[in-house]
Amino acid sequence: MRVKRYIVDSMPDALQKIKTDLGKDAVILNTKEIRSGGFLGMFSKKKIEVIAAIDTSAATAPSPVKTTAPIDRPQPVSTGFNTPQTAKNAYARPNGLAAQQQITDLKREALAFPEVPDVIIPSPAVPAKIPAAAVVVKAREDMLMEELKQMKEFMHKLSVQGSQQVSDPSLIVLKQRMIEQEVEPLLVDDIITSITQEAQDAGLTITDDSAMESARKKLLELFNQGRSNAMAADTRIAHFVGPTGVGKTTTIAKLAAEQVLKYHRKVGFITSDTYRIAAVEQLKTYATILNVPLEVVFSPQDLSKAFEQLKDRDIIFMDTAGRNFRNEMYVSELNTLLQYGGKSETYLVLSLTTKYKDMKAITENFSKFKLDKVLFTKMDETDSYGAVVNLVHDFKLQLSYVANGQSVPDDINLLAEQHIVDLILGVDHHD
């Protein structure tokens, strides 16, 4: 006995394949509608699973003894999925007289295919008769169970979404505010759910002030406040990495000026940004103004010479070339430029005007090597600050500085977590 399974779009396709593969003496054992592809049970395509068999010993087996008793031959079975009549009733479970009528219709439709052989199974290992009614009802039941399963999953999703609906006016306003600030919706739902649960556990009524204070507390908990955001006093070299156009060179000049003018440290510059037109000239101009030396490296092999030239410096600022963050080869090249034995910090420079989707992709690519802190630029060009919270939540990065203009060295400050949270929540301070 040779048994073969087919997955097809329609019964005519199956019949043609069975006839080609197994021959005219093959018999259909079972048919069942299945679904394939899709996402989470949705948008899947309907297929038909057909089990067919042929008795391989029929050619050598002795001829059956003739008998006058009539042979009850099973009628060829068609699922009827391609016919208008059965498609209309595809989701109705047949029962009673209706089931018998549908079975009769299916038999009549099956007979419309003249190439379907009227065969039996001579092997004793397989039942000699497969009632057409049983096959049809089995297919209908399987289809119905699959539909019920998908409906159950869909209703579960709706119930979960419904449970996240906010009815308290104070929480509605708070949630809308965070969404407008582009805080990730899932994070917003977690915060709102936590505030609601805490109020219920304590038996308290949620007010505007209590909701705001709870949200402020939840947002602050996302930040790593155990470390200083400022550049460490013993940092020997500070690397600055990031995509193109975020303002790394100008930011380096601002921080270098702070180290020279405020902390009176001896500063040196190294730049590997030889790809961008006038990039070296820009940093050279800042180096001349601050009276600090500048070394240009064209390859990782030039680094040791540059460090030797700047060995008397207290701190070295290294400007790397802005690269396309989607090109992994360019990003990985930075690894060789960031190898240094002394105390170092690596800053990822991001613009607050960048969409968080892109900001997340940038961080994922640059996270392939050690990132110590994140520095944001162009704060003066946006009114949305939720990306800061999202990035800290998703990547657990330490905040550092924020640049809010082009003036050197004035327009840069330490990024205070409380200030960002208050901006997101719309809290006004009149200090």
Q: What is the pLDDT of residues 38-52, one digit of tens each?
A: 665 566 677 888 888
CB-neighbour burial class of residue 413 (10 A; exposed 0-12, middle 13-18, buried 19+) = middle
Which of the four pLDDT bands, split at 50, 70 and 90, describes residue 300? confident
User: What's the mean pLDDT when you consider all of the chain?
Assistant: 77
State whether 245 and 285 are in the same domain.
yes
Helices and strands of the chain, counted as H and E runs: 14, 11
* Residues 386, 276 share a domain: yes
Same domain for 348 and 369, yes or no, is yes
Same domain, 196 and 244: no
Strand (E) positions, 182-314? 237-241, 267-271, 294-296
Distance, in Å, from the CA atom of 341 to the CA atom of 320, rounded to the nearest integer, reads 18
Q: ∠ at Cα 214 (211, 220), nearest 5°?
A: 140
What is residue 244's predicted lDDT score, i.e. its pLDDT? Answer: 83
Q: How confident is the model at residue 338 (pLDDT cuts 50, 70, 90)?
A: low
Judged by average pLDDT, the poorest of 144-158, 347-361, 393-407 is 144-158
Please provide the DSSP assignment of 128-160 as one string: S---HHHHHHHHHHHHHHHHHHHHHHHHHHHHH
- 225 in any annotated domain: no
Same-domain check for residues 274 and 389: yes
Please enumerate in sequence order all residues whose Cβ is within 8 A of that of 68, keeping only pairs 6 or more positions apart, or say none. Answer: none
Q: E strands, 228-380, where?
A: 237-241, 267-271, 294-296, 315-319, 344-351, 373-377
- List beta partners, residue 48: 8, 33
Give a yes or no: residue 65 inside a domain.
Answer: no
Q: Cα–Cα distance between 363 and 360 in angstroms, integer?
A: 5
What pLDDT does residue 374 have?
A: 95
pLDDT more than 70, % of the chain: 68
Does the pLDDT of residue 399 top 50, yes or no?
Answer: yes
In a domain, 231, yes or no: no
Task: Dig out the tokens for 110 from the structure.
Answer: 């099956």
One domain, residues 183 and 98: no
Query: Pick from 39, 36, 43, 31: which is nearest to 86 by CA?
Result: 31
Structural domain contains residue 99: yes
Pair 123, 195 in one domain: no
Number of neighbouring beta carbons within 10 Å of residue 258: 18
Region of 352 please: left (phi>0), alpha (psi -120 to 50) or beta. alpha
Structure tokens at 340: 């240094």
Mean pLDDT, residues 379-386 taken together: 94
Domain assignment present for residue 400? The answer is yes
Mean pLDDT along residues 198-202 = 90
CA dihedral 413, 337, 299, 327 (to 10 degrees): -90
Q: Which of 125, 140, 160 is the last residue of a domain?
A: 160
Is there a contact between 270 and 317 (Cβ–Cβ < 8 Å)? yes
Listed ranges 6-20, 56-70, 127-141, 176-190; the one with the highest mean pLDDT: 176-190
Sign of torsion, CA 55 56 57 60? positive
Alpha carbon 271 to chain centroid distance? Answer: 36
Domain's final residue, options 179, 195, 220: 220
Q: Which two tokens stand for residue 415?
A: 């990024």
**The pLDDT value given to residue 390:** 95
CA-angle at 418, arms to 175 and 236, nearest 5°: 130
Residue 331 has pLDDT above 70, yes or no: no
The 10 Å Cβ neighbour count of residue 227 is 12
End-to-end CA distance of the chain: 89
Does the pLDDT of residue 166 top 90, yes or no?
no
Query: Residues 283-309: what's their mean pLDDT?
Result: 87
Structural domains in the chain (count): 3
Domain containing 385 equals 237-425
What's the rounded Cα separation, in Å, for the pair 120 and 128? 7
> Is the pLDDT score of 400 beyond 90?
yes
Q: Do 310 and 370 share a structural domain?
A: yes
- Distance between CA atoms of 323 and 343, rounded to whole angstroms? 25
Note whether residue 197 is domain-resident.
yes
Q: Cα separations (Å) of 304 from 99, 294, 371? A: 85, 14, 22
Last residue of a domain, one of 134, 160, 186: 160
pLDDT tens across 71-114, in order?
444 444 444 434 444 434 443 444 455 545 554 554 454 444 44
Together in a domain, 249 and 188: no
Considering the domain architecture, whether residues 279 and 340 belong to the same structural domain is answered as yes
Residue 55 sits in the same domain as residue 133:
yes
Residues 37 and 119 in one domain: yes
Cβ neighbors of 372 (< 8 A, separation 6 or more) are 345, 346, 347, 398
Residue 430 lies in a domain: no
Residue 48 lies in a domain: yes
